Structure 1
Amino acid sequence: MNLAWGDDPNDFFFKKFLGLTSGPQEIGNIRSSILFSLALVWFLNWFIVFRGIEKGIERANKIFMPLLFFLTAILVFWSLRLPGALEGIKIYLKPDFSALARPGVWVDAFSQIFFTLSLGFGIMIAYASYLPRKSDIVHNAYTISFLNCFYSFFAGFAVFSTIGYMAHHTGAKFQEVIRESIGLAFVAYPKSISLLPFLPQLFGILFFTTLFVAGLSSSISIIEAFTSAVMDKFSWERENVVTVLSILGFSGSIIFATGGGLYWIDIVDHFLSHYGLVMVGILEAVAVAWIYKAHRVRDHINHISVLNIGRWWDISVRYVVPGVLLLLLVNDIVHEVSHPYGGYSWITIILVGRDWLIYTLFAAFIVAMRPWKKTLHIE
């Protein structure tokens, strides 16, 4: 199969590479190239998590994280030199405050920050369990949040400067160049790369290598969160847990390697990340602030941290966070009822999106209700 993007990346990506069908109800054939890539990613996830914390995840992160930032820095400084890049940067740095009046923007923002900070997945809880008991929580929280936001902001320069170059080169308006995230990453951006006056192949390799490293590091974290939880809950061996999880995960994700897979992953991603993470955020806030009590958590945090947090944290966790998330969630559900997501039919939304979310939450609830197989002592 010829993997060159050609003059029409849109036609190549959606028709030739994905073999996109007419809708999610038409599954289509399994795409061998996508299936192979899927198997490779699951194998890498299995191999790294299988090896444990020090030999697997820690060693991988020591390679992936510096590599990710290094590749991103190359993309940023390279793209800033392109003609028209400045126009893209101006749009990037000019905020549209009117968008703050749209509730959907806030839901998307919360979902995005939940995802980038790995909130609601159990990743932070899993990784935190490997830290020394008296680690400075406040310092770690501020550092992680700042670096996460800084990286996202920094990487945005590469995206907007390159899209600005494409708009400059083609004479199209900037808004016409930008599409949805999947189209931006795999259609608009490759088109921009193909228009580069020098070394477009190298730039393309750097861009997709960056995407691959970012995606792989995220998937490793998600699998480790589930693996560590099952290990602690049932006292099962790491090797057995991650092997079974990888086999089940690969088998369940084969549907995404079909001609209709893009529709399925679009709907599933929307419901799990858009609704699932927000719902988990509400439940976590309630559990911490109302069941365990926010002041007890704050006292412990301040006891082991150099920089203390005040009572504002209690108010935020008790009222602000769950209240805002609940308000946005209800508003989005109301909008969803009148305007089904993505223009999909209701039967598709129910079977693929809503039910997938319900089954996931139900399975998580069943596992959570199982008694612990061993006693954990927390000092």
Structure 2
Amino acid sequence: MAGREQWGTRAGFIMAAIGSAVGLGNIWRFPYVAYENGGGAFFIPYLFALLTAGIPLLIMEFTIGHKYRGSAPLSYARMNRKTEWLGWWQVSISFVISTFYAVIIAWAIAYTYFSINQSWGADTEGFLFGSYLHVADVPGQLGGFVPNVLIPLVLVWAVTLVIMFRGIRRGIELANRIFIPVLFVMFLILVIRAVTLEGAALGLEQFFRPDWEAMRNPSVWLAAYGHIFFSLSVGFAIMITYSSYLSRKSDINNNAFITGFTNSGFELLAGIGVFAAIGFMAFQQGVGVNEVAAGGIGLAFVVFPQIINSFPGMNGLFGVLFFGSLVMAGITSLISIIETYISGIQDKFQVSRTKAVLFGGGLSALVSLIYATHSGLYILDAVDYFINQFGIAFAGLVSVILVSWFLRKLPEFQEHANGVSDMRIGWWWKVCLGIITPIVLGYMFVLNVMQNIQENYEGLSTGFLLSTGIAAAVGVLILGFLLSLIKWKKNIIEAETDSKELEKEAK
């Protein structure tokens, strides 16, 4: 599309892509997933998944955005008119994710403040669920807003929307140029301190000790693929949108490898820091590492406050570093998620960026208020699970199958990517996307369906799940089809793709 904004520099794009990939999950999910699935041995299936699914998918999505020069809906529409719905499906998934992702960042902001004097006290679990979140006794009982959550949530949206209003170069790129280096420095200080704590070696031994028998278990390999898929922000329109702002001769293949390996490097750093700290806590309590290790919200908001309480000195400083890192990582990911539907609205309805941010970002902010109620944690947990397992993963599976099997676009995409890149991709890329990734994602999807048929997620009632998580997962798919039925205000689908422009320049 003529006049489409572009990144100021290649480094700006890479920073933004890394900022999207490096999120909350890198810090609180990867260390525990690795520990639970073979420790040091897990890094082999993890690396295999990165090279056969993660980076190939990054290259595919970078190529789609770069070639078709549009948001996910516009790019898929230019690829084939019948696939526009897929772009809107992915955009709708991003919209839902942004509503609850902002709330977790709000928790991290509150806990950054609590860190100063360890306001959570000795009973960190009771503080989180009782004193802070005021979780309802029964899921579904909203019970009004929780001020301690609502106030930082408003702050999150104020900061985020200001960044979005400023656009690609002066907003998203500038924010990532500031936040990503600060995040790495803050977390590196935390890691260095963690590995010097008494008992840190106990945690690191558990984290890196290889359980070679675990590699024979298919679930370990599925865990590696599942984590890589969610970790790199593929499957829900982000990388397609970001790459559409690249200059026409940007190096796609190298950018994908840099993004993939930098993200993995940060995850390894997070694992070292987290398990060194967990080892310290286990040593202090005289228990095994397995008794204090945890993942997800429990790690960040229950276990880590306990660890900070036990620090031999400067407790407040290291609490601020940890929760401040969560805030930084969260915001850089949130702005990438929001950009998917801001860009989609701009392209489809030909409105200004200001109007797109006001409508898309404003609506997301309003919806997110439901998570600031007394039942917010229950709703967040259900929506997060179903939108990830039956939204992102399923949409990723469908996109790979459509592109590789039905539209047979991989040879064309390979030629485009190689034409602008120093490093060329060959047969391995087509094998990974055409065979390995669809089989693994398909098998994961079937297992998830069977598991949810056998028992309700977390024992929650069927009625509650139908009205929250399942409704979100089904709703985004329906919304994707409905939005694709709306006619484009201008006939921009016929606009020249980037490959045609490159051919003209070559002549």
TM-score (norm 1): 0.95
| Alignment partner, residue 496 of structure 2 | 377
Seen in structure 2, the aligned counterparts of structure 1 residues 208 and 48 have a Cα distance that, compared at 3 Å, is same
Conserved in 2, the CA contact under 8 Å of 1:136 and 1:305? Answer: yes
2:330 is equivalent to residue 211 of structure 1: no
| TM-score for the superposition, normalised by structure 2 | 0.72
1:102-181 matches, cutoff 5 A: 105-181=220-296
Question: Does the CA-based 8 Å contact 2:222-2:440 persist in structure 1?
Answer: no
Task: Please name the residue that 2:202 is paired with.
Answer: 87
* 1:66 aligned onto 2:185: no
Measured in 1, the distance between the counterparts of 2:217 and 2:151 equals: 41
Select 1:220's aligned residue among 329, 332, 335: 335
> Residues 252-267 of structure 1 correspond to what in structure 2 (within 5 A)?
252-267=367-382
Where 1:118 maps in the other structure, the secondary structure is coil
- Distance of 2:215 and 2:255 partners within structure 1: 29
Q: CA deviation at 1:115?
A: 2.8
Moved more, 347-356 or 159-168: 347-356
| Cα drift, residue 96 of structure 1 | 3.5
What pairs up with 1:293-372 in 2 under 5 angstroms? Answer: 293-372=409-488
SS in 1 for 2:311: coil
Structure with the bigger RCO (C-alpha within 8 Å, sep 6+) is 2
How many pairs were matched up? Answer: 379
Query: What amino acid is the match of 2:238?
Result: I
Structure 1 vs Structure 2 CA RMSD: 1.8
Report the CA distance between 1:338 and its aligned residue. Answer: 0.7
Find the counterpart in structure 2 of residue 52 from structure 1.
167
Are residues 309 and 131 of structure 1, via their aligned partners in 2, closer, same or farther at CA, if it must alter by over 3 Å? same
1:113-169 per-residue CA deviation (whole Å, 9 max, x = no partner) reads 233211112111111011111211111111110001011111111110001100000
Matched letter for residue 78 of structure 1: R
* Mapped contact 2:164–2:357 kept (Cα < 8 A): yes
Q: Does residue 24 of structure 1 match 2:139? A: yes
Aligned pair partner of 2:190 in 59, 75, 95: 75
CA distance 1:110–1:257, shift in 2 (3 Å): farther
* Whole-Å separation in 2 of the counterparts to 1:339 and 1:363: 28
* TM-superposed deviation, 1:238: 0.6
Partner in structure 1 of residue 310 of structure 2? 195
How far did residue 37 of structure 1 move?
Answer: 1.1
Q: Cα deviations across residues 215-270 of structure 1 (Å, max 9, x unaligned)?
A: 11111010011111221222111101111122211211111111111111011000
How far the C-alpha of 1:292 sits from its partner, in A, is 4.4
Task: Please list every run of 5 or more consecutive structure 1 residues that lacks an aligned counterpart in the other structure.
Answer: none
Structure 1 residue 324 displacement after superposition: 1.2
The alpha-carbon deviation at position 374 of structure 1 amounts to 4.0
Change (3 A) 1:142 1:314: same
State the distance in 2 between where 1:112 and 1:29 align. 35
Q: Alpha-carbon deviation of 1:105?
A: 4.9
Give the Cα separation in 1 of the matches to 2:454 and 2:240. 37
